[in-house]
């Protein structure tokens, strides 16, 4: 359980870094789109982890 949570946090941290880099490179309307997609992806991953861990 703890390993799963740690890996999820690692994924979120990596994604956050990618979003930050994307914000620096593309300071356009793409940022809002990417951020929304990333947030949805994080929620989907978290829901999948919750589902597969049997809760």
SS3 letters across the chain: CHHHHHHHHHHHHHHHHHHHHHHHHCCCCHHHHHHHHHHHHHHHHHHHHHHHCCC
The reported pTM is 0.42
* Domain span holding position 48: 2-52
State the pLDDT at residue 45: 83
Q: What is the mean pLDDT of each successive set of 10 residues along the chain, which is 55 residues long?
A: 67 79 70 78 83 74
State the pLDDT at residue 4: 62
State the pLDDT at residue 18: 80
- The total of structural domains in the chain comes to 1
């Amino acid at each position: 359980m703890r390993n799963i949570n740690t890996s999820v946090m690692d994924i979120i941290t990596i994604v956050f870094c990618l979003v930050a880099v994307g914000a620096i490179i593309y300071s356009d309307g793409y940022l809002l789109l990417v951020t929304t997609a990333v947030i949805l992806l994080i929620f989907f991953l978290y829901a999948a982890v919750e589902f597969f861990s049997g809760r």
